[in-house]
A and B are shown apart, each in its own frame.
Chain A
Amino acid sequence: MSNLEDLYREIILDHYRSPRNRGELASPPAHRVEGFNPLCGDEVTVYLDVNDGVLTDIKLTGHGCSISQSSSSLMSTAVKGKPLEDVRATIEAFKELMTAHETTTDEEERDATNLRTFGELAALAGVVKFPVRIKCATLAWNTLQQGLQELAS
Chain B
Amino acid sequence: MAPGQRVSSFNARRVRADIPQLTRRINGRPITYLDSGASSLQTHSVIDAMSRYYELRHANVHRGVYQTANEATDAYEGSRAAVARFINAPGEESEVVFTKNTTESFNLLAKVWGATNLGAGDVVLITQMEHHANIVPWFQLREATGVEVRFIPVGDDYRLDLTNLDELLRDVKLLSITGMSNVLGTKNRVHDLAAIAHSVGALVAVDGAQMVGHGPVDVTALDIDFLAFSGHKMLGPTGIGVLWTRESVLDTMGPFMGGGGMIADVTLDGFTPAKGVARFEAGTPPIAEAVGLHAAVRYLEGLGMDHVAAHERYLTEDALRRLDLTFDGRVRVIGPLDVIDRGGVISLDVEGVHPHDVAQVLDQFGVCVRPGHHCAKPLMRRFNLAATARASFGPYSNTADTTVLLEALEHALKMFG
Contact = CB atoms under 8 A, between A and B. Distances in A.
Contacts of B416: 13, 16-17, 66
Interface string B324-354: 0000000000000000000000000000011
B372 A40 contact: yes
A66 B354 contact: yes
Given A4-B360, A64-B354, A41 B386 contact: yes
B390 interface: no
Given A4-B361, A13-B415, A41-B373, A63 B356 contact: no
Given A1-B27, A41-B387, A130 B372 contact: no
B251 interface: no
A124 B337 CA distance: 39
A84 B415 CA distance: 36
Contacts of B27: 1
A133 B359 CA distance: 12
Contact of B356 (A13, A16, A43, A136): A136
Given A64-B354, A65-B357, A66-B357, A4 B364 contact: yes
Given A41-B387, A63-B386, A65-B354, A133 B415 contact: no
A73 to B, nearest CB: 14
A1 B415 CA distance: 20
Interface residues of A, number: 19
A8 interface: yes
A152 B373 CA distance: 36
Contacts of A60: none
Contacts of A87: none
Nearest to A40: B356
A133 B361 CA distance: 13
Contacts of B364: 4
* Residue in A13, A17, A39, A65 with the greatest tally of chain B CB atoms within 10 Å: A65
B368 to A, nearest CB: 14
A66 B356 CA distance: 8
A24 B86 CA distance: 58
Contact of A41 (B353, B360, B361, B372): B372
A3 B348 CA distance: 24
Contact of B387 (A16, A40, A67): A40
A7 B360 contact: yes
Contact of A133 (B360, B386, B387): B360
Interface string B140-157: 000000000000000000
Contacts of B373: 41
Interface string B366-392: 000001110000000000001100000
A130 B386 contact: no
Nearest to B411: A4
B363 to A, nearest CB: 9
Nearest to B371: A40
Contacts of A7: 360
Contacts of B372: 39-41
B349 to A, nearest CB: 13
Nearest to B352: A17
Contacts of B356: 40, 64-65, 67, 133, 136
A93 B361 CA distance: 28
Given A41-B386, A133-B360, 11 more contacts: A4-B360, A13-B416, A16-B416, A40-B356, A41-B372, A64-B354, A64-B356, A65-B354, A65-B356, A67-B356, A133-B356
23 contacts: A4-B360, A4-B415, A7-B360, A8-B357, A13-B415, A17-B416, A39-B372, A40-B356, A40-B372, A40-B387, A41-B386, A41-B387, A63-B386, A64-B354, A64-B386, A65-B354, A65-B357, A66-B353, A66-B354, A66-B416, A67-B357, A133-B356, A136-B356
